[in-house]
């Protein structure tokens, strides 16, 4: 059975093509492009990606309106069945607003849009998404966000840290995120939200290829399963 993936596009998404290119590069098969107004995902999906951008113009709160799009009911159901879901930047915001990940993404502490390459520390190297890295490894991945300041209360932070669900941390905190958190996993480990853009670091022309490890390992593991 061939590998099947999907990239969801919302009004205002601007990294959906980048995500699709990164997935096709790693998997050898182009993902199915899904519109936010669709009510059902394609059958037999192995992987779902929610891309970056400014869904619905970031009205109300970033990701809040997209989290209530018709397609998100199917995304939630798929995640609950164990289908891997990756949300990057705005996709991370959508996952928190949809209740698939804990916490919230707030305005950057500087109140400025941040667009540069940052250094991340791999905190959990045991998940589907991160097992291609080494625990403690430092990688360089671009960020581009205005609302990337990860917030959760102390009890929630203690819980996710105690369960090993922090996937990545900023080496130098660029946005004020609590405990330097840059990426978070759900309890089952099949949903990852991260603010930095691994799909923008998969080709030497991007200035670095540290993001390719995430796609190469995860999609190969799924294709071989």
What pLDDT, in 10s, does the model give residues 37-91? 999 999 999 999 999 999 999 888 899 999 999 999 999 999 999 999 999 999 9
d(CA 84, CA 105): 21
Nearest CA among 111, 109, 123 for reference residue 194 = 123
Q: Is the pTM of this model over 0.85?
A: yes
Q: What is the arithmetic mean of pLDDT over 30-38?
A: 96
Residue the block writes with tokens 């930047």:
89
Q: Which residues, other chains included, contact 141 with Cβ-Cβ below 8 Å and sequence gap of 6+?
A: 117, 118, 120, 196, 197, 198, 200, 201, 208, 210, 211
Residue 73 CB burial class (10 angstroms; 0-12, 13-18, ≥19): middle
Multiple choice CATH, 5-224, 1.20.950.20, 3.40.50.300, 3.40.50.880, 1.10.540.10: 3.40.50.880
Q: Which residues are catalytic?
A: 89, 197, 199
**What whole-number percentage of the chain has pLDDT above 70?**
100
Does the pLDDT at position 1 exceed 70?
no
Domain ranges of the chain: 5-224
Q: What is the arithmetic mean of pLDDT over 128-155?
A: 97
What is the pLDDT, as a whole number, of residue 223?
84
């Amino acid at each position: 059975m061939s590998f099947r993936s999907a990239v969801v596009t919302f009004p205002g998404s601007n990294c959906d093509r980048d995500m699709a290119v990164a997935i096709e590069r790693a998997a050898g098969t182009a993902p199915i492009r899904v519109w936010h107004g669709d009510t059902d995902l394609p059958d037999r999906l192995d992987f779902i990606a929610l891309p970056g951008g400014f869904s619905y113009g970031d009205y109300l709160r970033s990701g809040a309106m997209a989290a209530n799009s018709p397609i998100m009911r199917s995304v939630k159901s798929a995640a609950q069945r164990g289908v891997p879901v990756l949300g990057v930047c705005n996709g991370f915001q959508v996952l928190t607003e949809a209740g698939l990940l804990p916490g919230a993404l707030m305005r950057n502490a500087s109140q400025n849009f941040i667009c540069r390459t940052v250094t991340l520390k791999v905190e959990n190297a045991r998940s589907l998404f991160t097992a291609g890295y080494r625990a403690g490894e430092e990688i360089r991945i671009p960020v581009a966000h205005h609302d990337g300041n990860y917030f959760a209360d102390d009890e929630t932070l203690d819980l996710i840290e105690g369960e090993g669900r922090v996937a990545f941390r900023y080496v130098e905190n660029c946005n004020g995120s609590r405990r330097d958190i840059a990426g978070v996993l759900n309890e089952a480990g099949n949903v990852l939200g991260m603010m930095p853009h691994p799909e923008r670091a998969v080709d030497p022309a991007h200035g670095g290829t540290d993001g390719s490890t995430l796609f190469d390992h995860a999609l190969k593991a799924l294709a071989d399963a």
